[in-house]
Copies of this chain bind each other. A is one copy, B any other.
Amino acid sequence: MEAKEILKNHVGKIIQLTDEQFDYFFSHFKIQSFKKGQAIISDGDTVDCEYFVVSGCLKSFFINDDLKMYILQFAMPTWWASDFNALYNHTKATINLDCITDAEVLCLSNGDREKLCKELHPVEHFFRWRTNRGYVATQKRLLSLMNNNVKYRYEELLKMYPELYNIVPKNLIAAYLGVSRETLSRLYAPEK
């Protein structure tokens, strides 16, 4: 399916736009292709865009002073990713975004999003809906991190996103769960 179709489908689940409106909306996106391992946003960058994933898989992550990586989000097709803090507040990136697999994305600048939200009321509604979902999901993850052990969190993650199991190496899963790769590896080790 075409990138445009995928976006149209996705947006169409939440709001109705006429074909002309959607064409206008879509005209603000730029399609970009990236190779596995390629960086889209790096720590310290100026962040101008958010990215709608058409194909492939991205990760957004934070690297701490000890070079330990924590993954904020895996972004699969129809997910949106960026360093939203830097994007909204016009600060330098503290979050990295790169490609776990080859990927195609649709790129929308902060300015164009705000322009579109102003011009087309339904678009503003769409982005409110999108952020609501992210907000609620992040709150749930925060609670799960405090309340559940690694094994439970791992199984929840795989239940929610089974496709990750095949695409994403375990060390990255561990970095998402906030645990060392060794501990994750030992979860299903036979009793000694």
- In whole angstroms, how far apart are the Cα atoms of A91 and B136 in the complex? 13
A138 contacts partner chain B, Cβ-Cβ < 8 Å:
yes
Q: Identify the closest chain B residue to A85 (Cβ).
A: B136
Q: Identify the closest chain B residue to A114 (Cβ).
A: B125
Main secondary structure of the interface of A (DSSP, over half): helix
Which of A31-39, A98-106, A140-148, A161-169 lies at the binding interface? A140-148
Partner among B62, B127, B147 whose Cβ is within 8 Å of the Cβ of A143 = B62
Q: Across the interface, do A139 and B70 meet the contact criterion of CB distance under 8 Å?
A: no
Q: Identify the closest chain B residue to A72 (Cβ).
A: B139
A9 contacts partner chain B, Cβ-Cβ < 8 Å:
no
| Residues from 67 to 125 in A contacting B, C-beta threshold 8 Å | 68, 70, 72, 84-85, 88-89, 117-118, 121, 124-125
Q: Across the interface, do B84 and A136 meet the contact criterion of CB distance under 8 Å?
A: yes
Partner among B85, B125, B127, B146 whose Cβ is within 8 Å of the Cβ of A140 = B85
Q: Across the interface, do B142 and A88 meet the contact criterion of CB distance under 8 Å?
A: no
Q: Identify the closest chain B residue to A62 (Cβ).
A: B143
Residues in B whose Cβ lies below 8 Å from that of A124 = 121, 124-125, 128
Using A85-B139, A85-B140 as known contacts, list a sample of 19 further A-B pairs with CB atoms less than 8 Å apart, ordered by residue number in A.
Answer: A62-B147, A68-B147, A70-B143, A72-B142, A72-B143, A84-B132, A84-B136, A88-B132, A121-B121, A124-B124, A127-B128, A128-B128, A131-B131, A134-B135, A135-B135, A138-B138, A138-B139, A145-B145, A145-B178
